[in-house]
Amino acid sequence: MVAKVWGLAYRSTGRAGGARRWRAAALGGALAVALGLGLVVAIPSSGATPGSMRAAPGSTRMPMHQAAQAGAGAGNETVPTPPVVRITPAAGTAINPLTPIVVQAADARITSVMMTNIASGAVVTGSLSPDATRWTSSEVMGYGSTYRINATASGADGTPVQQTGIVHTLSPAAQTYPSLIPAPTTTQTFGVGQIIGVSFDRAVTDRAAAEKALSVTSNPPQTGSWYWMDSRTVHYRPQSYWQPGSTITVHANLFGTDLGGGVYGRTDRTATYHVHDSWIAKADGATDQMQILHNGALVTTMAMSLGSPGFPSHSGPHVISDKQPSITMDSCTYGICKGQPGYYREQVALDERISNDGEFVHSAPWSVRQQGSSNVSHGCVNLSPANAQWFYDHFSLGDVVEITNSGGPPLPVWDTYGDWELPWNQWKAGNTNTP
């Protein structure tokens, strides 16, 4: 048999003693719950039946669910949260000037933020979130500067809240300026062999940080990599020559970048270069002929003369880095001066530089009889005046001259644009340990 006492059930076991013990435990639990809810409960005598249980005289009988709700709400009145405005980072250690300043409002809406350089009075711009709870600076700060931030917000009840902060930016031990290679231009296009580079005016010891701040993109996309010529110069090239018609963009995001030893980038630089048609000259010292290829197709062949056995031309790919209608060539610039055997000083026309070691493609009327049959120059590619004019008219910066069978050593990778001399797997290793 099952009986209920104020919502509590017990089962008769058929044994009087067991039922009484069970019933006593159930009533005890009910009593504890009732007392916890602040109710007054009458305990029936041992002879009372469940149906005879009544509230104590003068008390009010309350359903248990209402009592629970009443107890839960006691002492839980809502206290309004005061509006707060915070400025980060907080004043203290000098910060990187790239660090954004953030003004955050809680239980309030930002109404104004004024951030100024204390020394110059220049205002730093920023943007406010749509819900007006967050302002973020959008302008890069300067090195070694102090800024004041005055922020005002309004609470839900219209109460104004103000906050002021001061931040200091770090002062580098030194700054380095990044010169781009080639120099940015809006009128010049470049050949398929053009090398992209950055030259610093101070040594870079954290080369990984420098490479992370540098990027090169090309259209169409072409895989490329950086290679350090020395501690101040890093070059970039693709695995093979650039595709004709490519657009190349270099970004040097170096401001705020620690390049090692407390040396920071002075500024950011960017440049875009355009690649023209492919012009490649193949100069063969065994035949003393130079083939001219335009976009891979042979268009003409010229008789020429390379360096003599005593002054052999460097072998391998060369890239035109400069062109001048006329220059003075003086052997004293590489150690053979006036009065010594082999000295010369000549005004030479139609000159296109292919190395920094004094190698040019140029007009050489004095060697026309040897062109096509023997190598008699001091390392340059000698052409007849007519062929030199044709070459000068068609070849320009970034175009390629590949020299083979010259008897000379490979063009050093560091000699202007000797970059293409290295196999790709060696190039992409980066040479990060060079001094």
The reply to whether 259 and 333 lie within a common domain is: no
The reply to whether 235 and 198 lie within a common domain is: yes
The reply to whether 332 and 405 lie within a common domain is: yes
Q: What is the reported pLDDT for 13?
A: 39
Instruction: Look up residue 54 and give its two tokens.
Output: 């009544």
The reply to whether 163 and 179 lie within a common domain is: no
Instruction: Look up residue 16 and give its two tokens.
Output: 């009087």
Strands (E), 44-181: 84-88, 102-106, 108-117, 123-124, 126-128, 134-137, 146-155, 160-168, 174-176, 178-181
Do residues 422 and 413 make contact, with C-beta atoms less than 8 angstroms apart? yes
Beta bridge partners of 346: 329
Q: Which helix (H) or strand (E) covers residue 196, if one does?
A: strand 196-200
Q: Which helix (H) or strand (E) covers residue 30, if one does?
A: helix 16-36
Quick check: is 76 in a domain?
Answer: no
The reply to whether 314 and 420 lie within a common domain is: yes
Could you give the CA distance from residue 421 to residue 435 in angstroms, rounded to a whole number?
Answer: 20
Catalytic residue (choose from 235, 276, 378, 380):
380
The reply to whether 192 and 261 lie within a common domain is: yes
Q: What is the reported pLDDT for 78?
A: 65
362 is catalytic: yes
Q: What is the reported pLDDT for 313?
A: 98
The reply to whether 101 and 180 lie within a common domain is: no
The reply to whether 286 and 420 lie within a common domain is: yes
Q: Among 259, 274, 289, where does a domain finish?
A: 274
Q: What is the reported pLDDT for 269?
A: 98
Could you give the CA distance from residue 351 to residue 324 in angstroms, rounded to a whole number?
Answer: 5
Secondary-structure percent of the chain, ordered helix, strand, coil, rounded to 5: 15, 40, 45
Instruction: Look up residue 238 and give its two tokens.
Output: 């693709």
Q: Among 251, 274, 297, where does a domain finish?
A: 274
CATH label of the domain that carries residue 201: 2.60.40.3710
The reply to whether 363 and 322 lie within a common domain is: yes
Provide the number of structural domains found in the chain: 4
Do residues 306 and 377 make contact, with C-beta atoms less than 8 angstroms apart? yes
Distance set, CA 423 to CA 237, 370, 418, 428 (Å)? 12, 34, 12, 9
Q: What is the reported pLDDT for 343?
A: 86
The reply to whether 392 and 301 lie within a common domain is: yes
Report residues of the chain scoring pLDDT below 70: 1-80, 434-435
CB atoms within 10 A of CB 340: 10
Could you give the CA distance from residue 169 to residue 408 in angstroms, rounded to a whole number?
Answer: 54
For residue 168, what is the DSSP state? E
Q: What is the reported pLDDT for 76?
A: 60
HSE, CB side, 13 Å, CA atoms: give it for residue 170: 18
pTM of model > 0.85: no
Q: What is the reported pLDDT for 432?
A: 78
The reply to whether 16 and 99 lie within a common domain is: no
pLDDT tens-place string over residues 56-95: 444 444 444 444 444 444 456 666 678 999 999 988 899 9
Distance set, CA 240 to CA 226, 311, 420 (Å)? 14, 29, 8
Q: How far apart are the first and last CA of the chain?
A: 98
HSE, CB side, 13 Å, CA atoms: give it for residue 216: 23
Range of the domain at 199: 175-274
Q: What is the reported pLDDT for 351?
A: 98
Catalytic residue (choose from 235, 318, 362, 378):
362
Could you give the CA distance from residue 228 to residue 183 in angstroms, rounded to a whole number?
Answer: 19
